[in-house]
């Protein structure tokens, strides 16, 4: 009797091909579409819910997933995780912004929704395994990077517990993105040429600042030159900025490039530094909390990514109390940002991650963060 796999169908090309590959391998495949956000909440300040479209993106994704499942001859179920998403992902996102941090909601979505609520729902459907279209690989219960280094998504899975990876399949993890699209095109799937979704899922193509204003009241304040401590402009609210940002900062009339280098939430100050590559943007260590290890291996030396698209950095780890780690990188790293994930790797294996709590240089916490 064929093993049953429930595939998370997102309406994108990756999950479409994942479902096909599992059918090809002889599994009994069932599709499950997750509705994680109430599209009625997507009204922007001007009251335009769909930005001029006749159908909201989430409904279009469902329709695409349904068309793919019909083409492949498999059933598609639909489940609402709106409350779970609000409680565990969106509330976390807002709370982090209030603290002046830059959160990554995708990690929490994977931890609490796609590999928790989804798995529970899949078990109700009799699943022996669950599968998604993530570009990652599993060996045993260990997590590895996807073959396609440009699309690898192990970074976003690094807050998962080992038990959450049990009975999980990543069918496209051994493929390049172009191979996935070629398979979809050969099957004439509606998602074959569909553009990949980017940015924060519940914001989509909307203006970030206008969306956030629906939930957090704007609180303008001073922009200060971190070197001279002069007030050089006004910011629109600290939640609208992140460390390393150089576009739309709100500083005009200056000849040189300028970057956001810090925030003072208590005094509502945004700090900016000038120059092509200001030294103020660099740190040599950080403290991470909410540490989660997927691997039983807890090394003293490994590499770390401080942003999804960031490079691998050689780091030294010092294990502290309260499930915190001191991560040192004497070579210095640019724009390490509180609230972002620090994901640890040993070669191709993803060991786990923590959330950046504070950033330091020369044994001192950076006072402007």
Of residues 350, 367, 351, the one with CA closest to residue 359 = 367
Q: Is the same domain home to 120 and 36?
A: yes
Of 56, 69, 109, 141, which residue is the catalytic one? Answer: 109
How far is the C-alpha of 97 from the C-alpha of 93, rounded, in Å? 6
202 domain-assigned: no
What is the pLDDT, as a whole number, of residue 205? 65
Helices (H), strands (E): how many in the chain? 8, 18
Q: Which of 241, 274, 307 is the last residue of a domain?
A: 274
Sequence-ordered list of residues with C-beta below 8 angstroms from that of 44, at least 6 positions apart, any chain? 51, 206, 207, 210, 211, 214
Q: Is the same domain home to 264 and 161?
A: no
Of 69, 141, 201, 350, which residue is the catalytic one? Answer: 201
CATH of the domain at 358: 2.40.30.10
Q: Which residues pair with 287 in a beta bridge?
A: 326, 358
Q: Is the same domain home to 32 and 119?
A: yes
Residue 313 CB neighbours (<10 A): 18
CATH of the domain at 251: 2.30.30.280
Strands 28-35, 76-80: pairing is parallel
What is the pLDDT, as a whole number, of residue 252? 77
261 domain-assigned: yes
201 has catalytic annotation: yes
What is the pLDDT, as a whole number, of residue 54? 53
For residue 244, what are the domain limits? Answer: 218-274
How far is the C-alpha of 61 from the C-alpha of 191, rounded, in Å? 9
For residue 37, what are the CA distances in angstroms to 34, 53, 123, 245?
A: 9, 18, 22, 28
109 has catalytic annotation: yes
How far is the C-alpha of 108 from the C-alpha of 178, rounded, in Å? 28
What is the pLDDT, as a whole number, of residue 352? 98
Q: Is the same domain home to 16 and 110?
A: yes
What is the pLDDT, as a whole number, of residue 346? 98
Low-confidence ranges of the chain (pLDDT < 70): 39-55, 199, 204-205
32 domain-assigned: yes
If one counts the domains in the chain, the total is: 3
* Strands of 140-220, DSSP E: 142-145, 168-169
Q: Is the same domain home to 260 and 336?
A: no
């Amino acid at each position: 009797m064929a093993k049953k796999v429930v595939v998370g169908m997102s309406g994108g090309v990756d999950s479409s091909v994942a479902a096909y590959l599992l059918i090809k391998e002889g599994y009994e495949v069932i599709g499950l579409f997750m509705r994680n956000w109430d599209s009625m909440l997507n009204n922007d300040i001007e009251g335009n819910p769909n930005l001029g479209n006749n159908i909201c993106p989430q409904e279009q994704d469902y329709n695409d997933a349904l068309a793919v499942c019909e083409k492949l001859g498999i059933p598609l179920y639909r489940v609402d995780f709106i409350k779970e998403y609000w409680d565990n992902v969106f509330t976390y996102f807002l709370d982090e912004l209030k603290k002046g941090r830059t959160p990554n909601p995708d990690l929490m979505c994977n931890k609490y929704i796609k590999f928790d609520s989804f798995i529970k729902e899949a078990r109700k459907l009799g699943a022996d395994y669950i599968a998604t279209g993530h570009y990652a690989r599993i060996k045993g219960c260990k997590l590895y990077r996807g073959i396609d280094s440009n699309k690898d998504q192990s970074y976003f899975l690094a807050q998962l517990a080992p038990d959450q990876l049990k009975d999980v399949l990543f069918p496209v993890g051994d493929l390049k993105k172009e191979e996935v699209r070629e398979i979809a095109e050969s099957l004439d799937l509606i998602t074959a040429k569909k553009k990949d979704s980017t940015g924060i899922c519940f914001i989509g193509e909307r203006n970030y600042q206008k969306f956030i204003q629906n939930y957090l009241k704007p609180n303008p304040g001073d922009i200060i030159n971190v070197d001279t401590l002069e007030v050089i402009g006004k910011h629109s609210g600290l939640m609208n900025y992140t460390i390393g940002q150089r576009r739309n900062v709100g500083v005009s009339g200056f000849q040189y490039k300028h970057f956001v280098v810090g925030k003072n939430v208590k005094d509502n100050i945004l700090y900016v530094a000038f120059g092509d590559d200001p030294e103020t943007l660099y740190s040599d260590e950080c403290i991470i909390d909410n540490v989660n290890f997927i691997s039983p291996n807890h090394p003293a030396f490994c590499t770390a990514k401080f942003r999804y698209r960031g490079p691998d950095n050689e780091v030294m780890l010092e294990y502290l109390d309260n499930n915190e780690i001191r991560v040192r990188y004497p070579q210095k790293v640019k724009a390490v940002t509180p609230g972002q994930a620090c994901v640890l790797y040993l070669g191709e294996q993803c060991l786990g991650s923590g959330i950046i709590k504070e950033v330091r240089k020369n044994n001192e916490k950076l006072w402007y963060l």
